[in-house]
Amino acid sequence: MAIDLKKKIELCHIITDLDVGGAEFMLKRLLEQEPEYKERVVVISLMDHGKIGQQLMQAGFTVYALNMKGKLAFPLALLRLTRLLRQLQPLLVQTWMYHADLLGGLAAYFAGIKTIVWGIHCTKLPIGRPLTWAVMKACALLSYKIPSHIVCVADAARQMHINYGYKSALMSVIPNGFAINPLLERPLGHQALLQFPQSPAPLVVGAVGRFHPDKGQDILLNAAALVVEKRPDIVFVLAGRQCDNNNPALQQQIAAKGLQKQVILLGERDDVPQLLTEFDMFCLPSRSEAFPVALGEAMLAALPCVATDVGDCRWLTGDIFPLIPQGDAAVLAQAILEMADKPAAERHQLGVKARQRVIELFSIDSVSKRYRQLYRQLNPQFSEQSKLE
């Protein structure tokens, strides 16, 4: 994509990739919150455009993709990104996630950009990612030199990264925000997207998240095996990247528990808000989270939830739902059974309370204003040129 040097770029977002994910959706929501600002903002993906990038371009935003692939691509990507930032000369660079913090932070520094904001979107390091660990440790060292500020999506993430060695004086918390839309009507008998031959339709427990040990699909399946022994009318629906029938590891786990008829795999979805209306209950079985977008979306859909006590789930849920220790399938199964045994009206009231909490505390409008206030504090020129108050 050609660069229009006549346009004054105020803000450049740099993100690791633009596939479907929590941080990616959060960036998309922030940009969509201020469509009139699209002429003065650009987005750079270190990898390809992905689904989110394509959607942003269709909405009129400028999105660059560096198509970085493989461990050896880092030096070339750093060179290309530095050149691009020198041409764009944004007033402020906001980076998202470790690799973008490191690569984007260095490139912005070399390009002479004075205001650099890092973004931390996880609490603990992902399981089985030694390269990510090395990138994080490099960021910890550079946090004393490169960023003007570091935004953490959760206080649990802030505390953990202080322990990792990040400069604590630069860190603050701005949670994920959610677009507050009218509550979608629930289809009768789960017949819009989920098709069940039996009548009455089963009680549906849904989980949304990419297939990864951090997301705890294995824990949920262990719990599901215990649940269906007592409640064979309950089915489990898993949605998310690689949660599909082409995943042999997941298929093996399901077969080992004899859950072929009790578990439905939907894979990655573009219609999660509609899909949530077909769940009777939402489950977050994660081993690690920062500020879980999936749980917030489920609460906004007025679903009763069962979740593990990880990251800032307690801040998100308040005292509406009891949280359970991560990694304990037996306790998770008991919590699912207890929620399923509640009268439908009681479950509905819990969901209504959950939706109201998200509306009051975590709207994308309030979160966007907090980012804007931070940008203005860090760079007065941003305040002078921005049309938004």
Task: Give the DSSP letter of residue 145.
Answer: T
In a shared domain, residues 150 and 223? no
Give the mean model confidence (pLDDT) for residues 33-62. Answer: 90
d(CA 271, CA 210): 15
Tell me the range of 21-35, 47-61, 187-201 where mean pLDDT is highest: 47-61
Task: Report which of 284, 157, 263 is spatially closest to residue 215, judged by C-alpha positions.
Answer: 284
Q: Is the pTM of this model over 0.75?
A: yes
In a shared domain, residues 275 and 200? yes
In a shared domain, residues 198 and 129? no
What is the separation, in whole angstroms, between the first and last Cα of the chain?
Answer: 30
Confidence of residue 120 (pLDDT cuts 50, 70, 90): very high
The per-residue pLDDT for range 257-272, each reduced to its tens digit, is 999 999 999 999 988 9
Is the pLDDT score of 284 beyond 80?
yes
Q: Of all residues in the chain, what percent carry a pLDDT higher than 90? A: 72
What is the predicted pLDDT for the residue at 35? Answer: 76
d(CA 208, CA 217): 10
Confidence of residue 126 (pLDDT cuts 50, 70, 90): low
Is the pLDDT score of 387 beyond 50?
no
Whether 276 contacts 304, CB under 8 Å: no
Higher per-residue pLDDT: 345 or 8 = 345
Give the mean model confidence (pLDDT) for residues 34-54. Answer: 89
What is the predicted pLDDT for the residue at 21? Answer: 76
The per-residue pLDDT for range 147-202, each reduced to its tens digit, is 999 999 989 899 999 999 999 999 999 998 998 988 887 776 665 677 776 667 79
In a shared domain, residues 230 and 249? yes
Give the mean model confidence (pLDDT) for residues 283-289. Answer: 94
Give the mean model confidence (pLDDT) for residues 60-80. Answer: 88
What is the predicted pLDDT for the residue at 190? Answer: 62
Least confident of 64-73, 108-117, 149-158, 236-245: 64-73
In a shared domain, residues 216 and 123? no
Within-domain flag for 309: yes
What is the predicted pLDDT for the residue at 386? Answer: 47
Within-domain flag for 165: yes
In a shared domain, residues 352 and 367? no
d(CA 94, CA 149): 10
In a shared domain, residues 154 and 19? yes
Confidence of residue 7 (pLDDT cuts 50, 70, 90): low
3-state secondary structure of 35: helix
Q: Of all residues in the chain, what percent carry a pLDDT higher than 70? A: 93
In a shared domain, residues 173 and 228? no
Range of the domain at 151: 11-177+363-385
Within-domain flag for 4: no
Within-domain flag for 53: yes
Other C-beta atoms within 10 Å of 380: how many?
Answer: 10
What is the residue-wise DSSP string for 158-182? HHHHHHHT--GGGEEE----B---P
What is the predicted pLDDT for the residue at 194? Answer: 79
Is the pLDDT score of 105 beyond 50?
yes
Instruction: Give the β-pairing of 171-173 and 203-208.
Output: unpaired
What is the predicted pLDDT for the residue at 388? Answer: 41
What is the predicted pLDDT for the residue at 383? Answer: 61
Within-domain flag for 38: yes
In a shared domain, residues 109 and 206? no
What CATH number did the domain enclosing 303 receive? 3.40.50.2000
Within-domain flag for 65: yes
In a shared domain, residues 203 and 161? no
Whether 336 contacts 226, CB under 8 Å: no
Q: What is the mean pLDDT of the chain?
A: 90
What is the predicted pLDDT for the residue at 181? Answer: 87
Report how many domains make up the chain: 2
Give the mean model confidence (pLDDT) for residues 110-128. Answer: 88
In a shared domain, residues 353 and 204? yes
d(CA 369, CA 294): 22
C-alpha count within 13 angstroms, C-beta hemisphere, residue 226? 16
What is the predicted pLDDT for the residue at 191? Answer: 59
Within-domain flag for 163: yes
In a shared domain, residues 72 and 166? yes
